[in-house]
Structure 1
Amino acid sequence: MSLTGSGAEPDKRGLRRRVLAGRNGFPEDDVQRAAAVLAARAQELGELSGARTVAAYVSVGDEPGTLPLLDALHARGVRVLLPVLLDDNDLDWGAYRGPGSLADVRRPGRMTLREPHGPRLGPDAVLDAGAVLLPGLAVDDRGMRLGRGGGSYDRVLARLARADVRPFLVVLLYDDEIVPRVPEEAHDRPVHAVVTPSGVRRFRTPPTPPPVV
């Protein structure tokens, strides 16, 4: 039975703690090697590598690395959009133009993020993306994703739903972060695919319901 409403969030917090504890202390060399493998695996997805615009993010710390994938997409002429965190936890976007286009941004009480410097394109820029790379901590056999809990990407997905825009949704994870069940809430949406160092797994996602007004 799926978990919804107030009971799901405490279970999500417990799963987040377990995943983050598992990631803690990954050797940097292992993180970098996995990032290179993930980039190669992810490009097996034609919906991602063949998109004209991809909204993505810059991994930090021991997250599954995204920079090799960002560079590969950029080199192929794909327009890569990266998030800029706003004060209300919504996301603006900027264009990725290579590693030199990133700046470390420190905000009180938060981890240091790497964000694109240059013109801001507005929160609606994500509507142009044919594929969206979502950060995550786990995904289950239905494609339900566990995020970090900040709500920024819930807003992105709600914005896409309101505009009736349906990009390909994909998450990068380590192999042991595919779990039997992710607790879900009413606003959660499944992804179309997960990429791990072992390979790509696609999910049969149901149609996106209309947004709650």
Structure 2
Amino acid sequence: MASATRPRISRRGAHLMGVAAAASLMLSACAAEEPQADDGTANPSTSTSDEQTTDDADGAAGSGEAAGGEGDASGGASPATQIDWQYPEIGGYELDEETTEPGVIQLVDDANACLFQLTAVALPALAASDRESTEASLEESVNSLDDADENGRESFTVSGAAGDVQALQADVSASIGERPADVRILMRASAADQALVGIMHVCPAGVLEDDVWERFLEDVEVQGLTATDFAPPSD
């Protein structure tokens, strides 16, 4: 029986989208932290961060773990803190071992042309609050996507070694190459850890399933991050 035609998103196309998002985030963070000139404007700065996949053929039973050396998705978050993702096995998704740079773990489902990307990126010291920095980073990430149309944003939590980590999630309709795609992005910036962590789920338009996302977030854990709740806004 012939299967229904489904628009496919290449791994490279989706991966390059992640690279562009990370580069925008780093540029934004560095610009925010540049010393201010006398007239209050920031001095010029440039910084980039390439996102690539990290190998980990030997995950723990029932889970994959991003920890020092093997399957490392840390961005060297600070001299004192190593940020690691521990991620669950989820039906249909396998570790993409095509690239090996640290900083990103990519899991792909070839049958549905979907992927998860887990990132841990080092940031300079943040002058803004964690919430403001997270909102700015999420905005930069959304704006880096082609034909981006944000459909909603909400607060969400993931598990961390120090407790539940409050983060922000955005749902976006976008294009990867010439293919329409649904993108779900979760991010948290932490000034204490000088780190930005994130999860991105990418599927062809109409294929992304809420229950897959929710099951993944139930069992994923960001280790080494000291941040938990956002601080309440100051008066």
TM-score (norm 1): 0.28
Q: TM-score, normalised by structure 2?
A: 0.26
Structure possessing the higher radius of gyration over alpha carbons: 2
Q: Which has the higher helix share?
A: 1
Structure with greater strand percent = 2
